């Protein structure tokens, strides 16, 4: 039988397959095709099979020479961008000798993957973590924030942070709060497909982020991802008003209750600001202020609960030993809270449970609808929540941003008391609360 990494030619009654042998299952052979996808071929259908030899690793001397060539002297006419990697698909490619996805993190490797970057900026690149984004905890936000601070002190013109897409929007909000008065752009970039796939979005997203940093006056934290499934444009999205809205599409990230900051066309080297140009006007003001890190308390326990029909008070009380709780309210601001017939007595226990927790910790709210603004003054269930002591009325934060903001406030202002937490939670600090609801932003 074939060895792993061996090139093979397999013929069935209807097709011929050439690729790299991965492994043998009971009834199948698994090979990796040249397009990067794995395929299982039923043994019973194989008519012919032969080896084409082992894949060869690039010679050490040849590799060192190529690495040396890739590392050129900085161009004094170009800005310097630091790329910090936390993992994810964007800086990875398939190793066809093993079938595994391998990471590429050094500046030499990044330039080889994305040679167009050399025309836009001088690139430095380093790995700060290598992990799937769903594995992230509050401690990792502190690591990222300190790494950005380190690059800012070196005098770079901007930072690109590569990140897995699953929780990229959480991290964007976290860094927006943690990096107070950041005077340079910090752009989070992800991709849905690895860098050597024909359908990859990695190249376009990364190049657009670099183009935006190099040729705009923006400062602060933002996200750069595809505008549509096609490669024409990328959007610069607000850090605290963006959410991943699709599991796999390249345009999965959409602004919520807000407009995109800008549109970037890499091919035309064109940047169009959409929401406003206030980011450019504010840059000089930010540069006057010193970057301050306001980090997260890594030991905090923040809950996130989604009310639903046939709910029980015990679902709320499960968080009684936590430090804070976000409730994703139904509609304009409701939970099951009223007894209306013989089947709904449990609802009264739910509102009592919320009141019990609100005496011990901040219990804050966000709209389960994602779009829109909370207004608990309209209907009785909302008024009951206000009487129970929940905070966050009139806000339009996404549940994820509300979760991050509450964690950040408890990390930095807990000693100042519950009233200070309430005041700051309901105050717009980083663009997380819209002054008004833009009708154009719905399903934008």
Residues 101 and 215 in one domain: yes
CATH classification of the domain holding 130 = 3.40.50.1170
269 located within any domain: yes
Q: Of 275, 293, 311, which closes a domain? A: 293
Q: Which of 272, 293, 314 is where one domain is finished? A: 293
From residue 369, how far is each of 39, 194, 323 by CA, in Å? 40, 32, 25
pLDDT by residue (tens digit) across 153-205?
999 999 999 999 999 999 999 999 999 999 999 999 998 866 555 557 888 99
Q: Are residues 188 and 224 in the same domain?
A: yes
Is the domain of 223 the same as that of 372?
A: no
Cβ neighbours of 280 (radius 10 Å)? 13
CATH number of the domain bearing residue 41 = 2.30.30.520
If asked whether residues 79 and 35 sit together in one domain, one would say no
The residues that are catalytic are 89, 165-166, 244
Specify whether 391 is located in the same domain as 332: yes
DSSP result, 365-396: EEETTSSS---TTSSHHHHHHHHHT-B-TT--
Measured between its terminal Cα atoms, the distance across the chain in Å is 54
pLDDT, tens digit, for every residue of 72-84? 688 989 999 999 9
Count of structural domains within the chain:
3
Residue 333 lies in a domain: yes
pLDDT at 21: 87
Please state the pTM of the whole predicted model: 0.83
pLDDT grade for 435, boundaries at 50, 70 and 90: confident
Is 185 in the same domain as 77? Answer: yes
Q: Does the pLDDT at position 268 exceed 50?
A: yes
Confidence of residue 333 (pLDDT cuts 50, 70, 90): very high
Structural domain including 370 reads 302-425
């Amino acid at each position: 039988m074939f060895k792993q990494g061996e090139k093979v030619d397999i013929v069935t009654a209807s097709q011929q397959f050439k690729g790299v042998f991965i492994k043998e299952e009971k009834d199948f052979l698994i090979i990796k095709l040249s397009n990067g996808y794995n395929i299982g071929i039923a043994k019973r259908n194989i008519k012919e099979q032969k080896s084409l030899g082992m894949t060869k690793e690039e010679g050490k001397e040849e590799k060192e020479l190529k690495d040396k060539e890739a590392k050129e002297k900085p161009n004094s006419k170009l800005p310097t961008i630091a790329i910090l990697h936390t993992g994810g698909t964007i800086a990875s490619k398939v190793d066809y000798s093993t079938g595994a996805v391998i990471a590429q993190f050094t500046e030499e490797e990044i330039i080889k993957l994305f040679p167009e970057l050399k025309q836009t900026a001088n690139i430095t690149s380093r790995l700060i973590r290598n992990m799937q984004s769903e594995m992230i905890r509050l401690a990792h936000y502190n690591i990222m924030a300190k790494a950005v601070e380190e690059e800012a002190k070196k005098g770079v013109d901007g930072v690109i942070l590569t990140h897995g897409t699953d929780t990229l929007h959480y991290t964007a909000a976290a860094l927006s709060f943690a990096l107070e008065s950041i005077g340079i752009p910090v752009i989070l970039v992800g991709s849905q497909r690895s860098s050597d796939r024909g359908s990859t979005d990695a190249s376009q997203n990364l190049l657009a982020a670099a183009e935006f940093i190099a040729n705009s006056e923006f400062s602060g934290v933002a996200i750069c991802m595809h505008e549509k499934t096609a490669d024409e444009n990328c959007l610069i999205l607000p850090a605290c008003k963006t959410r991943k809205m699709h599991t796999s599409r390249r345009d999965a990230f959409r602004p919520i209750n807000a407009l995109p900051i800008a549109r970037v066309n890499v091919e035309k080297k064109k940047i169009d600001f959409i929401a406003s140009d206030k980011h450019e006007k504010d840059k000089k003001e930010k540069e006057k202020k010193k970057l301050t890190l306001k980090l997260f308390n890594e030991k905090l326990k923040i809950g996130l609960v989604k009310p639903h029909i046939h709910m029980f008070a015990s679902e709320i009380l499960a968080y009684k030993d936590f430090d804070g709780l976000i409730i994703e309210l139904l509609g304009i601001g409701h939970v099951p809270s009223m007894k209306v017939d013989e089947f709904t007595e449990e609802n009264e226990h739910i509102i009592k449970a919320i009141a019990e927790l609100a005496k011990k910790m901040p219990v804050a709210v966000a709209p389960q609808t994602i779009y829109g603004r909370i207004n608990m003054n309209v209907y009785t269930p909302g008024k009951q929540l206000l009487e129970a002591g929940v905070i966050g009325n009139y806000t339009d934060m996404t549940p994820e941003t509300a979760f991050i903001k509450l964690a950040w406030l408890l990390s930095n202002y807990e000693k100042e008391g519950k009233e200070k937490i309430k005041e700051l939670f309901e105050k717009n600090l980083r663009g997380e609360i819209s002054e008004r609801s833009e009708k154009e932003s719905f399903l934008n």
